Amino acid sequence: MADTSRLRKPVIAGNWKMYKTQREARDFFAEFQPLVAAATHCEIVVAPTFTALAASVEAAKGSAIGIAAQDVYWASEGAFTGEVSPRMLVEAGCRAVIIGHSERRQFFGETDESANRKVKAAVAAGLTPILCVGELLAEREAGDTQSVLERQFRGSLAALTTAEFSRIIMAYEPVWAIGTGRTATPEIAAEAHKFLRDLAARSFSAKDAASLRILYGGSVKPENIKGLMAQAEIDGALVGGASLDARQFAAIVNY
């Protein structure tokens, strides 16, 4: 369990995607909180839908569980129908926000450039961005994993100051492992994480790279979390499907 040899405090985050009503969110927290009440070895984050944010913040009050949004727009207000601003998320009680998830890139036109604007706006508002990167299966098979990660890293984090960079969390989510039951092996994930950390050292500073938390995402389950967390390069997980079930997500938190 709690392993004090780690340089970086792990983060176990759940991305609920487009699941759970407010009522379902409340039921989840009622079951989940007692199961993780003793967990001090990691930070716990849950990212519900926009409509369930306030209910989740209320339900998680008094616990160490942080609530995150799944996306944000970069302007602070304006004529942008359907969008939500960083300061609105802060007011709703969010501490963090997922940015650049592959599903946003795949289905909703997210680009490295839009992710970059969102990261900067989120940091400016005091939110912790959880920036997602990851290659498609075809890109991995073509041997392009590193060039894709480098393009996403540079594009999404362009023109960030070192101070801004020190506020972010990254998530490596190989697209071929998301919702497929096909997890990257701990070694494959660790290799990508190391590549991203080296990029961080070159682009920002060795110190910032050493403190950057990089989460792995893609079919993380109670059965494979231990092996993933045994890798020093893996600082936590961004969990989709298994975060919807209180017991399963608690088992991942208590790896």
Positions that interact with ligand 13P (CB under 6 A): 15, 101, 173, 178-179, 217-220, 238-242
Of 129 and 240, CB closest to ligand 13P: 240
DSSP string, 184-205: PPHHHHHHHHHHHHHHHHHHS-
User: Is 193 among the catalytic positions?
Assistant: no
User: In the complex, what is the shortest distance from the CB of residue 36 to ligand 13P, in angstroms, rounded to a whole number?
Assistant: 18
* Nearer to ligand 13P (CB atom), residue 86 or residue 241: 241
How many other CB atoms sit within 10 Å of the CB of residue 108? 10
Question: 157: alpha, beta or left, given left = phi > 0 and alpha = psi -120 to 50?
Answer: alpha
Told to judge if 101 belongs to the known catalytic residues of this protein, a careful annotator would answer yes
Cβ-based burial of 168 (10 A; exposed 0-12, middle 13-18, buried ≥19): buried
In angstroms, rounded to a whole number, what is the distance separating the alpha carbons of residues 192 and 202?
Answer: 15
User: Is the separation of the CB atoms in 85 and 126 below 8 Å?
Assistant: no
Measure the CA–CA gap between 242 and 91, rounded to whole angstroms. Answer: 28
Instruction: Give how far the C-alpha of residue 92 lies from the chain's centroid of Cα atoms, to the nearest Å.
Output: 19
Comparison of 110 and 173: residue with beta carbon closer to ligand 13P: 173
Shortest-Cβ-distance residue relative to ligand 13P: 240
Least distance from C-beta 218 to ligand 13P, angstroms? 5
**Which of 235, 197, 176, 200 minimizes the C-alpha distance to 45?**
235
Q: CB of 98: closest distance to ligand 13P in angstroms?
A: 7
Pick the catalytic residue from 101, 110, 193, 233.
Answer: 101
CB of 250 to ligand 13P, least distance (A): 15
CB nearer to ligand 13P: pick between 201 and 244: 244
Q: Which of 135, 173, 193, 233 is catalytic?
A: 173
Q: List the catalytic residues.
A: 101, 173
